[in-house]
Amino acid sequence: MFLAIDSSAGASAALIDDGDVVASWSTRQTNTHAEVLAAAVEEVLAEGGLRGTGRGAGRDTADGGVPAGVVVGVGPGPFTGLRIGLALAQSLVCVWDVPLYGVCSLDSLAQRAIDAGVVQGKFAVATDARRREVYWASYRGVAAGSAEDAAAAYAQRRDGPHVGPAADVPAGSVVVGQGASLYPDELLGPDARLETGTWLPEAADLGLIAASALSAGRAEAVLLPPRPLYLRESDAQVPASMQRATTGAQNAAQSDAPTGVQSGAQA
């Protein structure tokens, strides 16, 4: 079994076993991650018959121990929400002593679009990045099995993820995700088609993507380091008065330090 977590937009958690979603939980709210995500993980573990106690991937079956690994959405997404999911995932793998796998959160929407049959060939995913911008990436559907087995198709990321104006999304793309609803005028061009709706990344999709990639030998092409994809600097700014006060204190500490000794503030 794999536990999957995503907090790149809403918050979600899921338990995956042998290509099936055993348990899942999600919320579309974007400002409650810290309050709800840990409890949601406990809920899906319990629903899947795991206690979340013990160490090592071998303790995930009869004794009701821990998952064989954790999958986490690495974004792109806002700083605060993304950090919460990643911090929780990193804490769990340290306690459980199991692997941690990162997956681009946009891949969730790409795979869901393929599974739903709303896209074929090349397409793009665009989600809300605020500041009148979108997070986006380009994809194409690839048949993993026989040509007749549409269910075996998977989404291959060709470019991205990026952040920028909706006009940056390649012209003529079929576009899925919140960006299609928010910026239809910027995205509509010759041969373009928008799959509008309130699609958000889901942990269940990410868990299935990771499990499929690991079993099919595509891990190197699909899985990412479990580090956040912020794509731009934080909105948080240190007030100028605080910057001046900090700089003055550091300069004073440096001038008072004995020759050849660097103050801790400058280390």
Residue type, 227: R
pLDDT score recorded for residue 151: 52
- Residue 57: the pLDDT is 54
Residue 69 in any domain: the answer is yes
Expressed as residue numbers, the domain containing 171 is: 106-195
Rounded CA separation 33/77 (Å): 13
Could you tell me which of 100, 78, 98, 80 has the C-alpha nearest to residue 89?
Answer: 100
How far apart, in whole angstroms, are the C-alpha atoms of residue 124 and residue 99? 30
**SS3 (DSSP) at 23:** strand
The candidate with the shortest Cα–Cα distance to 105, out of 136, 80, 130, 133, is 136
Instruction: Tell me, yes or no, whether 260 lies in a domain.
Output: no
Q: How many domains in the chain?
A: 2
Residues of the chain with pLDDT under 50: 58-62, 146-148, 150, 236, 238-239, 242-243, 245-247, 249-250, 252-267
- Of 152, 205, 184, 162, the C-alpha closest to 10 is 205
- For residue 148, what pLDDT is reported? 47
Write down the residue that tokens 């942990």 correspond to.
203
Of 123, 139, 109, nearest in space to 191 by CA:
123
Could you tell me if residue 188 is inside a domain?
Answer: yes
Confirm whether 252 is domain-assigned. Answer: no
Per-residue confidence (pLDDT) for residue 7, from 0 to 100: 96
What pLDDT digit, counting tens, does each position of 130-148 carry?
A: 999 999 999 998 886 644 4
Give the Å distances, CA to CA, from 7 to 13, 80, 190, 227: 9, 9, 34, 13
Chain segment 227-244, per-residue pLDDT in tens: 999 998 755 454 455 445
**Token pair for 109:** 């929407």
Write phi, then psi, for 80 (nearest 5 degrees): -65, -50
Output the pLDDT for position 228.
96
Residue type, 131: R
Instruction: Tell me: do 112 and 55 sit in the same domain.
Output: no
Measured CA distances, 263 to 96, 238, 248, 257 (Å): 39, 22, 13, 7
Q: What is the pLDDT of residue 54?
A: 64
Angle between helices 33-47 and 79-96 (to 10 degrees): 40
Q: Considering the domain boundaries, does residue 116 fall inside one?
A: yes
Q: Examine residue 247 and state whether it is found in any structural domain, yes or no.
A: no
